[in-house]
Amino acid sequence: MSQSTEYSSSLQEFIIDGASCGSCVSKIENAVQQVSGVTHAEMNFAQRTMSVAGTSTSSAIISAVEKAGCQAKVREAKSEEDALTEKEAVDLAYSKRLMRQTWIALSLGVPLMAYALITGEMNVNTVGERIAWFIVGLLTLGVMIAAGKHFYIGAWKSLLNHSANMDTLIASGTGTAWLYSMVVVLLPSVIPEQARHVYFEASAMIIGLINLGLILELKARGHTSEAIKRLIGLQAKTARVIRDDKEFDIAIDQVLLHDIVRVRPGEKIPVDGDVIEGHTSIDESMLTGEPMPVEKVAGDSLATGTINKTGSVLFKATRVGKDTALAQIINMVKRAQNSKPPIGRLADIISAYFVPVVMIIAVMSAMVWFNFGPDPVLAYALVSFTTVLIIACPCALGLATPMSVMVGVGKAAQAGVLIRNGEALQTASKITAMILDKTGTITLGAPKVTDVIVVGEYDEQTILYLAATLESGSEHPLAMAIVESAQERGIETGKASNFSAIAGHGVQAEVDGKTLLFGNEKLMHQRGIDLGSFVEKAQALAADAKTPMYFAIDHHFAGIIAVADPIKEDSIAAIKRLQHNGIRVVMLTGDNRDTAKAVANKVGISEFFAEVLPEEKSKKVQELQMKGEIVGMTGDGINDAPALAIANVGFAIGTGTDVAIESADITLMRGSLHGLADAIAVSKATLSNIKQNLFGAFIYNAAGVLIAAGLLYPIFGLLLNPVIAGAAMAFSSLTVVMNANRLRFFNAKEY
């Protein structure tokens, strides 16, 4: 076991061993969160892993886990691939150990069960029977130690910590059955003759069946890592770098920042970077889901894992190792899989109280049978007590949520939808209103100059030169459109000074000794610039879905530049899809009302707000929330960040700014709004799956406990056998895991 004493302010990952049920989760999390320096601890019961944030030492965290009755090991892998390999190695070793223990238990349990079924008797009356069953009892004890030792150790540790878990139930049930049987064998006189029945087969079979259930659960759990495996498989293994005018291949973890890398046709992009030489087309479907290759020239960015289709290019590495886009995506998916939606936290709380309650029910059931049951009362009391303890194990309850979350988040990632946390996953299914930004979200965000209207002494060339120079330092899509238009006409930009952005209105600067203003009608009015009859011309342009921007030189109106931002090909279909699912779609834009109205009409949105400032966007979100709406906000720019953060669920277009992506709960790697409908569909399917799992687990436990306690005996004469209870408990967990894996076949496009 690695126990580091180095302090870390980053996230630490641990592999947990010995967590046997949902109640263990809250117990371990509470123990770790009490460690000095720990700010957050979250355990994934399905994966048996734990993430811990803060500045505590790993040794202190491991110690806390051990005090809680489990074992912890620092995840030592440096890469996600190594981490997955490490986890699979741990699971394989655990599976082999369980398999060995299962064979040991069943090799005794099955023959004893067969004997009981064939003869119908396991009574102790003669000296010969006492000797024979004594030997069987010793063999059973050996099996319990060899095959079920982990249950008894776990139960003992829980007892020392004044708590109870699945191990407590199994140890109590099997231990009681064995002790009773040995009393029957050694001291038959203290037991009524009709109650001299041994239950050695129950102790052996229960241990064997529960171990078998754990093996099957472990194997089924392995499928949930498919999404992570696929993402890791997208990474190139080597990169061809150029150093000292020499080209050679190195492992990708050896690539340094600013290295010059060559990529030939058919090769994967090994690290993130910017093209410096060459021309090619890149298959970015793994990031965006879009099948069409994207043309790349000098200055364009490349993402790790995308595939170079045609030309050979040189690029400079801008992000390597854990900083690449793909590495961040993998990390985001993994953390989301490890997080709990609110419904999952409820299951943890219930599990924590479930075991003690069950133990009380088991004791009460035994007392009722002993005092009011038929002869042999002692035997019936024992069977009831043991069966209640065995069948009530809340394994399925603990697995219900994390299994579904893991599969659902992974499924979404494959569709190009990155869900940041479990809460967003749950809330997305409840969205009633979706607010869409216009530029870059509904539209391409790559507008083109369509009209240049000049006033007075100035011509188009001069206006475009001054406007392009003014906007040359801006990354706003409309600004970039003007710069590109000037470049297309062979106009070289000059140098601007005293540049300042006026939020929600426009920009100002000085160029060639002239004071320039460029922005909307509000800005012109604020500065007292007379627009005359040109307002009507601007409105006519806006009615045609063009964005008119007013240009002033030395406080005099000089012209209008109109820019049109084409609507994305699939925006109309995606918006209809949202509306078809009963979601209220609202468009917000800082653009003028006429342009906004024209775009809204084209895409089928009846409700929109135009000329909205960044701070007003968040107010609009709050207004809808106050009306009882569960609001989703979708945007791509810095100006959308406040609204994305305050919305119930923020959706960022993956092609947008890093600020927007960081502010959002869900990132759509494609530029398409179909990702919204996909995300909501996956969210609904995952939540539905969780509810199915929880309902099944609750019903199983509730009904199982009642039947085991003997509720059906007065009516049908039915009393559950402890062995059957053990098998049912084991296979209930398997049922939950298999149901969660059904999500892997879910097709969001159909919804």
Q: In the structure, what pLDDT confidence band is assigned to residue 578 with cuts at 50, 70 and 90?
A: very high
DSSP letter for each residue of 637-706: SGGGHHHHHHSSEEEEETTS-HHHHHH-SEEESSS-THHHHHHHHHHHHHHHHHHHHHHHHHHHHHHHHH
79 secondary structure, DSSP code: S
The whole-number pLDDT of residue 605 equals 93
pLDDT in tens, 49-82: 888 888 888 889 998 888 887 788 887 755 666 7
Give the separation between CA 316 and CA 276, rounded to whole angstroms: 7
Give the pLDDT score at 8: 39
pLDDT digits (tens, 9 = 90+) for 179-228: 888 888 998 877 667 667 787 887 888 788 778 877 777 776 666 566 56
> Are 578 and 457 within 8 A, CB to CB?
no
Parallel, antiparallel or unpaired: strands 417-419 and 556-564:
unpaired
* 283 annotated active-site: no
Mean pLDDT of 690-717: 79
Q: Which residue has better confidence, 35 or 283?
A: 35
Q: What pLDDT is recorded for position 661?
A: 57
Q: Answer with the residue of higher pLDDT: 292 or 555.
A: 555
Pick from 43-52, 283-292, 302-311, 563-572: least confident: 283-292
What is the model's pLDDT at position 337? 66
State mean pLDDT over 441-452: 81
How many Cα atoms within 13 Å fall on the side-chain side of residue 114?
Answer: 6
pLDDT tens readout for residues 588-607:
887 778 778 888 998 999 99
Rg (CA), the chain: 34
Mean pLDDT of 123-134: 87
Name the more confident of 306 and 353: 306
- The CB density around residue 360, as the number of other CB atoms within 10 Å, is 10
CA distance 367 to 384: 10
Select which of 167, 437, 565, 594 is catalytic: 437
What was the pLDDT predicted at 697? 78
Point out which residues pair with 502 in neighbouring strands. 506
Residue 122 confidence (pLDDT) above 70: yes
Question: 609 near 589, Cβ under 8 Å?
Answer: yes
- The answer, yes or no, to whether residue 412 has pLDDT greater than 50, is yes
Q: Where residue 115 falls among pLDDT bands split at 50, 70, 90?
A: confident
